[in-house]
Structure 1
C-alpha cells in the first residue's frame, strides 16, 4: 500500500520536502504575533512550500531560538505523501480504510494471500516501547515549566492569546493500563495558553479526548494528558482521520508507516508518548476547573465566542536537542485543514460507497468550510432515490450530521465542477418539487446562521434527471458531440490554433 519511504519523524518528512523542492527556510526575523500567519496564508494560497522561520520574534519570554515550521500540509500532494502514497495511491488507501470498517472473510487461498499486505499493516500497529528517546533529551519539570519560552503563535488580531494549533493530544480512559496503547485516543484539538504552566483544552463533547476526560472526572479524578508537538506525519494525519472507534490513532500510524510506532513512558504522567517527536507537554486536566477559552479565529472565517473548557496543569515539558515547533493557522478556507479535508474526502469515498453503493462520486467543497455543503453524484435508477441517498448520508457518519446542504446530481455531472452543478440545478431541479427541508437537526454550534446553538435545518436539493412517477412530462435528451476521429481532430486543432498546444 505504501509507495514512499517511511518517515519516522517530522525531520525525515522535512528532508523529503527539501529534496523535492518543497521546503524553504526564512532567516529574517518574523513575529509569532500575526506576521507568521500573514506570510503562511499568502504562501499556502500560492500552493507554496513548507516554511521554516528560523528567527521567531514576539515570544513573551523575549527571545526564542526554536524554529517554527508551517504549511506542512499546504498541498494535497504533501498530504498524500504524509500518508505514504502519491496522489494516485489514495484510492487504494481509501479501500484499506473501508476494509477496516467492514472486513470481509477471504473465500479461498488466493484471496487470503491477497490480504497479506493488510495483515502486515495490522501487525505493524503493535507499539514498540523504548526506555530512552530523543524527545526526552531535555526535560523541564514542575517549577521549571515555562510555556512562554515556546514560539506559540497568536494568529488573528482579536485572538485571546497564543494558541497551539497542531497538537496531537494523547489520552486514555480511566481503568486502562498506561502501556495499553490500543486504548489511547490521539486527537487534534485547539489548546490555548493560559499562563506559564496552564493550558485550556477545547474538547467538544463528541470527541474522544472529551469522552476519556469524562471517564476520569465522573470519579473526581484528574486526567493524564500528553500533548505532542511535531509528531511524524503518519501520527499527525492519523490523529485527524475519522477512524473507526476500535482503532487507536497511535497504533494506526504504525500501519501507515509500515513500522511499529516507537513509544516511551512520559516523565510525569502515566502515558506513553511518541519517542521521535520534537516536543511533548505533559500534565493533568482538572475534573472540575474550567476557564473561558477564546475568542479565536475559526475555520468558519469568524471569531468564535469565549466558552468554558477544562484547564490542564503542565507538569513537564520535554524535547529533543534544538527542537522544531510545528504550527498552522485556522481560518476561512483555504487553510491546511481544508486541504487535508479534500484528501480525506477522497479516502472516505470507498467507505461511503460500501454503505450507499449507488454513489458515483462525492465532493465537499473546501470553500464551504469542508463539510457544510456536499455534492453527491449518483447512478439514478428509480424515483425518490436522490432523497434516500441524501438522508442516508446525513445519518451515516458523524461528520455528515453537520452538513447543512446536499445537492444530488446524476453520474454524468462532475460534482467538482461548479458549472456542471449550476447546469444541473438550472435544468433538472424544480424548487416546488425537488427541495427537501428538515428542521431541528444536529449542527456545529459554531455555525452562527443556526437559530439555536447545536440545532439547525438541513436542505436537500434533487438536481437529478426525473424518472417514473417523479414527473408527468417527457424528459429531454442531453445533447452530446458526435464521436470523431481523434487524430483528425487533433491535427486540425494544431493547424488552426497552435497556441493551444503551447
Structure 2
C-alpha cells in the first residue's frame, strides 16, 4: 500500500495517471465550478482542478470530483483505490474486500505532532478574521438553498465524556461568513454525539476539515460500528500512523496536513433552516428543515489552500463510489460474521445506492445443506436489515458468482432472466426508512416505515435444471477457446 498523506500528493498521483483536468481560465465563484464538476462525473472526465476562481484570492483552488469514477476506462475506480492506498487498477470488489478486511486488523491510533510542524496551521484566523467569505465556496446545484460549505470535508466531534471521537461527512450549508447549518440526522453517529451535548445543555465543539489525506475523506464517508474512532481505522487500513495536531480553539485533534480547518461550536437547538440540496438519488431537492447552527470561531489553512467539491446527483459520483463501497463492505462483514457463504457484495453505481448485490459461490448448498434459495434470501435479509448502513438500501439481489456485479450488463441480464414474474423473494415489511431513497410513497416517509426486499436470483444446482450460458466462456470446449484466443488479432 502507498499512503498518500495529503491532498496534494494525491492530486500529483492523479496527474501522473492523466486524471486531472486543469482549468486555468477564470470561472465564476457561483455555479460554474458546480456545473463543471457535475458534468465531469457524468462523462467521466478528469477531476477538475479550478486554479482561477473569480472573487477568490490568487492561489486558492477547488478540486472537483475527488473520488468519482476515473477518466481511465482501464482503471475506473482509480481515485478511490489511490485514496485508500491501493493500486489504481484495483477492482470494485478488491476495494470492498480491503475495507471489510481492515475491520479485523488491530486499530492503529494516531500520533500527535506539534503545531509548528502542522501544515494546516500555516495560517491562523481568529475572531472576525475567521470568515468563510475568504474561501471559494460555490453553489452545487442551481436549486440549492445556499452554498454548501461541506460536501467532502470531515466533521470531527467528540462525546462529552471523551470516550468516542467521530469523523463523518454530512452536508453543511453556508449561512454567512460566520455561520453554517448542517444536516444532523438523529440515527447517524454525528446525531448521536450531538444528542449527548444537547442533554448536557452545552454547545458541541466541532472541527470541519477540508482536504485531509484522501483516505481520511473516504473513511469519513463510510459506515463503521458506533464508537469506533475512524482515525484508528484509517491507520489500520493504510498501515500508517495518521498525524494529528491539537486544534487552536477547541479540545479536538485534527489532521495535521489538512488544507483548511474550521473550528467552532454547534448550537443545542435546531434553530436554522437548511436545504434544499440535490442529493445522491439523482433529483434536485425541494425540502428544507430546521437544523443546528455551526458557529465559526477559528479557521486555519495551508498556503494556497484547496477546497474539495462533490456535487451529488445522477450516477456516478462519490455517493455511488466510496459511500456505496462502504455500505457493501459493511454488509459483507455482517454476512460473513453470520457464517453465510458470500464471495462479495456490491452496489452498482447506476443504481444510485438503491440496490445491493450479494454474490455467492456455486457450492453454497454444500455450506447450507437442506436450505432452499428462498430460505437463503430470508437469512440474508434477516442479517442485513438489522444493520444501520442498510437504512438506505431498499432492494437486495442474491446472485450466483457467474455474474460480475460490477458489469451492469451482467446485472441487467441476471435480473431480467432470473427473477420469476411472480417473484422468488423475501419481503420485509415495516422496515425503518428515511427520505433519501427515492422509491417510497409520502405516507411511508411520513411514518418512517416501508418495505424492503431480497430478490432470489439463484439458479438451480448443476444437474437439477441449471443451464450453461450460451456464451464464449461456457458454450465451447476449452481447447477450442484456447486456440481462438491464441490467434485473436492483437
Q: Do these two structures clear the TM 0.5 threshold for a shared fold by scoring above it?
A: yes
Deviation at 1:256, TM superposition (A): 3.8
1:39 aligns with 2:22: no
1:338-367 C-alpha deviation (Å, 9 max, x unpaired): 122454466457524343532234331222
Q: Secondary structure at the match of 2:262?
A: strand
Aligned twin of 2:368: none
Comparing 376-385 and 328-337, the one that deviates more: 376-385
In the alignment, structure 1 residue 456 sits paired with structure 2 residue 443:
no
Identify the residue that residue 74 of structure 2 maps to in structure 1: none
Q: Does 1:170 align with 2:156?
A: yes
Structure 2 length normalisation: TM-score? 0.85
SS in 2 for 1:374: strand
Q: Which residue of structure 2 aligns with residue 387 of structure 1?
A: 377
CA distance in 1, matches of 2:278, 2:431: 25
CA distance in 2 between partners of 1:488 and 1:158 (Å): 56
Answer yes or no: is 1:326 the counterpart of 2:308: yes
Tell me the equivalent position of 2:203: 222
Q: For the Cα contact (< 8 Å) 2:63–2:308, is it kept in 1?
A: yes
Structure 2 gaps of 5+ residues are 71-76, 366-370
Question: How far did 1:299 drift?
Answer: 0.9
Q: Does 1:306 align with 2:291?
A: no
Partner of 2:253: 272
SS of corresponding position for 1:12: helix
Contact 1:66 1:150 in 2 (8 A): yes
Per-residue deviation, residues 313-362 of structure 1 (Å, max 9, x unmatched): 11111112221212121112111221224544664575243435322343
Aligned to 2:397: 407
Pick aligned residue for 1:27 from 24, 28, 41: 24
Q: Is the 8 A contact 1:84 1:257 kept in 2?
A: yes
Q: What does residue 127 of structure 2 align with?
A: 142
Which residue of 2 is the match for residue 359 of structure 1?
342
Q: How far 1:196 sits from its partner (Å)?
A: 1.5
Q: Which residue of 2 aligns with 1:55?
A: 52
Matches of 2:130 and 2:416 in 1, distance apart? 61
Aligned twin of 1:335: 317
CA distance in 2, matches of 1:246, 1:301: 31
Shift of 1:267: 1.7
Match of 1:110 in 2: none
Match of 1:374 in 2: 356
Matched, 1:70 2:64: yes
Query: Could you say if the C-alpha distance between residues 251 and 130 of structure 1 is closer, same or farther in structure 2, counting changes exceeding 3 Å?
Result: farther
Q: 1:202-242 CA distances to partner (integer Å, 9 max, x unpaired)? A: 11112221111111111211100110111111211121132
Q: 1:354 to 1:96 in 2, by over 3 A?
A: farther
Residue 486 to residue 432, structure 1, CA distance change in 2 (3 Å): closer
What CA distance in whole angstroms lies between the structure 2 residues aligned with 1:316 and 1:348?
Answer: 35
CA RMSD of aligned residues (A): 2.9
- The TM-score normalised by the length of structure 1 is 0.83
CA distance in structure 2 between the aligned counterparts of 1:44 and 1:285, rounded to whole angstroms: 33
Question: What runs of 5+ residues in structure 1 fail to find an aligned partner?
Answer: 104-117, 177-181, 468-473
Change (3 A) 1:220 1:430: same
Helix, strand or coil for the counterpart of 2:343? strand
Give the C-alpha shift of residue 12 in structure 1: 1.7
Residue 149 of structure 1 and its aligned partner are, at CA, apart by 1.9
Candidates 158, 161, 166, aligned match of 2:143: 158
What do the CA deviations read for 1:439-486 (whole angstroms, capped 9, x no partner)? 32111223353332232212332222358xxxxxx7464465241414
- Tell me the alpha carbon deviations over residues 132-171 of structure 1, each in whole angstroms, 9 at most, x when there is no partner: 2221222221222221221111011111110021121000
Query: Take 2:409 and 2:432, find their aligned partners in 1: how far apart are those partners?
Result: 30
Number of the residue aligned with 1:131: 115
Distance change >3 Å, CA 226–CA 487, structure 1 → 2: closer
User: Are 1:434 and 2:424 counterparts?
Assistant: yes
**CA–CA distance in 1 between the matches of 2:415 and 2:325?**
26
Greater CA drift, 434-443 or 269-278: 434-443
Q: Report the Cα distance in structure 1 between the residues aligned to 2:328 and 2:126, rounded to whole angstroms.
A: 43
Question: For 1:169-222, what per-residue CA distance to the aligned partner results, in whole angstroms no more than 9, with x for missing partners?
Answer: 00000122xxxxx73111011010011101102111122211111111112111
Q: Mark the CA change 1:426 to 1:69 in structure 2 (over 3 Å): closer, same or farther.
A: closer
For the residues of structure 2 that align with 1:131 and 1:95, how far apart are their CA atoms? 36
Q: 1:398 to 1:130 in 2, by over 3 A?
A: same
> Hey, what does 1:294 align to over in structure 2?
275
Contact map agreement 1:151 1:325 (CA 8 A) in 2: yes
DSSP 3-state at the match of 1:296: coil
| Higher deviation after alignment, 278-287 or 238-247 | 238-247
Aligned residues: 461
Mapped to 2, the partners of 1:488 and 1:171 lie a distance apart of 58
Secondary structure at the counterpart of residue 194 of structure 2: helix
Would the alpha carbon gap of residues 464 and 190 (structure 1) be closer, same or farther in structure 2, given more than 3 Å must change?
same
Query: CA–CA distance in 1 between the matches of 2:244 and 2:409?
Result: 50
Match of 1:108 in 2: none
